[in-house]
Amino acid sequence: MRIGISAASKDLDALLDPRFGRCPYFLIVDTETKEFEVVDNPGNMAGGGAGIRAAQAFLQLGTKELVTGQAGPNAFEVLVEGGVKIYQAPQVKISEVIELYKNGDLKQITTPGGRGRGSR
Amino acid sequence: MRQLVVTSGKGGTGKTTVTASFVALAGGLVIADADVEAPNQHLLLHPQVIEKKDYEGAKIAVKDPDKCDQCGKCEEYCRFDAIQELEIDETRCEGCGVCVFVCPTGALRLEDDTTGVTMVSETEYGTFSHALLDIGAEGSGKLVTEVRKNAERLVQDEPLLLIDGSPGIGCPVIASLTGADLALIVTEPSVSGRHDLERIHGVTRHFGVKALVCINKWDLSQEMSEEIEKYCAKEDLCVVGKIPFDPEVLDTIKKGLPVKNLLKTKAGTAIINMWKKVEGHLFKEIINWRR
Amino acid sequence: MKLAVLSGKGGTGKTTVAVNLASSLAEKGEKVLFLDTDVEEPNAGLYLKPVLEESLPVTIPFPEIDQENCDYCGECANFCQFNALAVAEGVVLTFPELCHGCGGCVLVCPKEAIQEGKREIGVVEKGWADSIKFWQGRLNIGEPFAVPVTRYLKNGLADVQEDIVIIDAPAGVSCPVIEAVRDSDFALLVTEPTPFGRHDLELALKMVDHLGIPSGVVINRAGKNNDLISELCQERNVPILLEIEFSKLLASLGSIGVPFSRVLPQWQDRFWGMYQSLKEGCPCAS
């Protein structure tokens, strides 16, 4: 299974970044082989609407599973419309996030969290 | 780590002074001045700047006059009156890119525009994240986000991120408030103080941030103070502090003394008591997804 | 004459100066229009207590998608600098609160599937405070864009008959302030004799210089020693037009919403005198 994770830096030792919209990278990981690719999150640089920009970019990656800390209402709406399932994980290493995901320990988020910073 | 934002509906209520006193009281904190449009905290904290970065806060249309054939389409389509007599008015351009799109000769492009600087500084009390916006620069909401991001990056094991919030109810305020664990609204006993308290309370409620209230210079009008307290009781807002008017505060500030001297004043005693209550709310009651 | 009252920081007494000036001039028989452009915190009305007769909605456009004609190509979302649109599978989502209303998405859509609706972001209210014509703008809570409200408010100025327009500007030096102050004949900069006041006055001076508007300073809560401000004014060659000494009486009148010049006639004369001297100093006044 390929899953996307919001990450603070570019490898499996990186911490999960709890902010979906303004995380610097998405790590797209194959949960079986642990192979991964790193994608810059354009939302990180957005003046406003970071969550929307991030969600739009995430949809283009094709994976339907996302692990993050929190997605704001705007990002949430775009992701859900795009058929993405969102799981919540604590701020731990990406390698641990993968284990949590595989063991089914992650809770799916079904409601958006607090609005992101800088709603404009 | 908890995030406390000290904010106010209007300026000049003493938000910066309250924040500075908290700085002296908290021990172990990172400080952020999110009042990017009128940053004052640096005047009190005497920071040593250790990192300075240009802040590219906006996009702006730029014209190549050699390619322009003066057709005027840009002017016609710009909704912000930012192009007049074919010249771009930088104070009005919102960087939307419509002129770039409609220009038939490719004479226009969008460029990143430096609209301020962000700074990280050392102070006697902790690391300090702040910024300075250019005159009339847009996008202060994004800059607030940047200042907060710098501050969050600086937090190691400090239990508190203390944010001097932006006054008002617009974009920068929203950016400074949301994501906070707790907001302390500093108001003053006047008709406008009361009015603005209601508006900023509306914003905190809108964004689901728990708010406490401090009435500064409360004894300047006991009548208005009572009215504010009544409003707070009705709205279930906790008034955690009433600070008396104290000319010594101003003296301390005018002399440029360290902020811990603020605590020695009469007002300082009230602030110390208030801090204990705020600390209680901040570290006990808040349930938040962030760890 | 358009006279903007502003301050680099909030809480310096900008509104106090503006309302006292307006009511002093009105008492002396001048026809005054008062414009509260501090749309995030319109407070002047709390002092002037106008009767508001008209309320006009301020709207900005936002995109409405004709899902029938849309083929989800994503051009609109791609174009939008403000991320106010997103294209998911088989649907275009719009986020009106992020939309600046530039109209770009309508222009780029190859299927002509976007129209514009209107969204209310605030109101402009008009009325009278005794003989003072009074207009104010109010931004709805949670709305980030103040400038369109200010602009709408100032658009009405083209047709007014009043000789004196007093513009109570927002605090600070951001975009909405520039919009409020732009095209004024004179700027009255209100400050206080503290390091904060001085710092923010410097910013305000930079702004009015940038806009090419002549200015003068009012020191509010003045004390025995106002060197912090007077040195700066001397350096910049800006006149100090009025000093309002700190007194508990003035503060308490202010706190209950009474312009102090109404009960203390000597202040009426001082504001009148200030107006006369700034008129002389202002090249554009006739």
Strands A36-40 and A25-30: antiparallel
pLDDT the model gives residue B138: 61
The answer to whether the CB atoms of A56 and C87 lie below 8 A apart is yes
pLDDT the model gives residue A111: 75
The domain of C73 spans 61-120
Identify all chain B residues contacting A18, using CB atoms and an 8 Å cutoff.
289-290
Identify all chain B residues contacting C195, using CB atoms and an 8 Å cutoff.
43, 253-254, 256
Same structural domain for residues C115 and C205?
A: no
Same structural domain for residues C46 and C90?
A: no
Question: Which of these three, C120, C145, C161, is where a domain ends?
Answer: C120
The count of structural domains within chain C is 2
Question: Which of these three, C120, C142, C159, is where a domain ends?
Answer: C120
Whichever domain contains C244, its CATH number is 3.40.50.300
Same structural domain for residues C111 and C141?
A: no
The answer to whether the CB atoms of C107 and B40 lie below 8 A apart is no
Q: How many CB atoms lie within 10 A of CB B3?
A: 25
Same structural domain for residues C156 and C115?
A: no
Asked, for residue C80, whether it belongs to a domain, the answer is: yes
For C167-219, write each residue's pLDDT tens digit: 999 988 888 899 999 999 999 999 999 998 999 899 999 999 999 999 999 99
Same structural domain for residues C133 and C267?
A: yes
Cα distance between residue A107 and residue A101, in whole Å: 9
Average pLDDT in the A91-99 region? 92
Looking at the partner chain, which of B10, B206, B250 has a beta carbon nearest the beta carbon of C194? Answer: B250
Identify all chain C residues contacting B141, using CB atoms and an 8 Å cutoff.
144
- Closest approach of C240 to chain B, Cα-based (Å): 20
Q: For residue C57, is pLDDT > 50? A: yes
Identify all chain A residues contacting B149, using CB atoms and an 8 Å cutoff.
22
Looking at the partner chain, which of C100, C200, C254 has a beta carbon nearest the beta carbon of B38? Answer: C200
Nearest Cα residue in chain A from B94: A47
pLDDT the model gives residue A113: 60
Q: For residue C70, is pLDDT > 70? A: yes
Residue pair A64/A11 in contact (Cβ under 8 Å)? The answer is no
Same structural domain for residues C226 and C146?
A: yes
pLDDT the model gives residue B58: 81
Contacts of A31 (CB under 8 A, 6+ apart): A1, A2, A3, A98, A101, A102
Contacts of C266 (CB under 8 A, 6+ apart): none
Nearest Cα residue in chain C from A58: C88
Domains detected in chain B: 2-46+123-285 (3.40.50.300), 56-114 (3.30.70.20)
Same structural domain for residues C214 and C151?
A: yes
DSSP chain C: -EEEEE-SSTTSSHHHHHHHHHHHHHHTT--EEEEE--TTS--HHHHH-PEEEEEEEEEEEEEEE-TTT-----HHHHH-TT--EEEETTEEEE-GGG-----HHHHH-TT--EEEEEEEEEEEEEEEETTEEEEEEEEPTT----HHHHHHHHHGGGG---SEEEEEPPSSSSHHHHHHHTT-SEEEEEE-SSHHHHHHHHHHHHHHHHHT--EEEEEEEE-S--HHHHHHHHHHT--EEEEEE--HHHHHHHHTT--HHHH-HHHHHHHHHHHHHHHHH-TT--
- As a whole number of Å, the end-to-end CA separation of chain A is 35
Asked, for residue C127, whether it belongs to a domain, the answer is: yes
Same structural domain for residues C31 and C65?
A: no
Same structural domain for residues C116 and C126?
A: no
Number of residue pairs across A and B with CB atoms under 8 Å?
50
Identify all chain A residues contacting C88, using CB atoms and an 8 Å cutoff.
59, 78, 81-83
Asked, for residue C286, whether it belongs to a domain, the answer is: no
Segment 189-208 of chain C within 8 Å of chain A by CB: none
Domains detected in chain A: 14-25+33-83+92-108 (3.30.420.130)
* pLDDT, mean over chain C: 92
Cα distance between residue A51 and residue B280, in whole Å: 33
Whichever domain contains C104, its CATH number is 3.30.70.20
Asked, for residue C183, whether it belongs to a domain, the answer is: yes
The answer to whether the CB atoms of B179 and A22 lie below 8 A apart is no
pLDDT the model gives residue B289: 35
Report the candidate in C219, C246, C214 with the shortest Cα–Cα distance to residue C231.
C219
Q: For residue C6, is pLDDT > 60? A: yes
Same structural domain for residues C18 and C68?
A: no
DSSP β-bridge partners for residue C114: C65
Question: Which of these three, C120, C145, C168, is where a domain ends?
Answer: C120
The answer to whether the CB atoms of B136 and C195 lie below 8 A apart is no
What angle do helix axes B191-206 and B222-234 make, rounded to 10 degrees?
20
Same structural domain for residues C150 and C252?
A: yes
Q: For residue C269, is pLDDT > 90? A: yes
* Sequential pLDDT tens for chain B (291 residues): 899 999 998 778 899 999 999 999 998 899 999 988 778 899 999 999 999 999 987 889 999 999 999 999 999 999 999 999 999 998 889 999 999 999 999 999 999 988 899 999 999 999 999 998 888 776 566 788 889 889 988 888 899 999 999 877 666 777 787 678 899 999 999 998 999 899 889 888 877 789 999 999 999 999 999 999 999 999 999 999 999 999 899 889 888 888 999 999 999 999 999 999 999 998 874 444 333
Same structural domain for residues C54 and C24?
A: yes
Strands A85-88 and A107-108: antiparallel
For C7-55, write each residue's pLDDT tens digit: 987 788 999 999 999 999 999 999 999 999 999 889 999 999 999 999 9
- Closest approach of A71 to chain C, Cα-based (Å): 15
The ipTM, to two decimals, is 0.82
For A3-62, write each residue's pLDDT tens digit: 999 998 999 999 898 778 878 899 999 999 999 999 999 987 777 788 899 999 999 998
- C143 or A58: whose pLDDT is higher? A58
Nearest Cα residue in chain A from C142: A119
Asked, for residue C230, whether it belongs to a domain, the answer is: yes
Q: Given CB atoms, is C46 within the 8 Å cutoff of chain B? A: yes
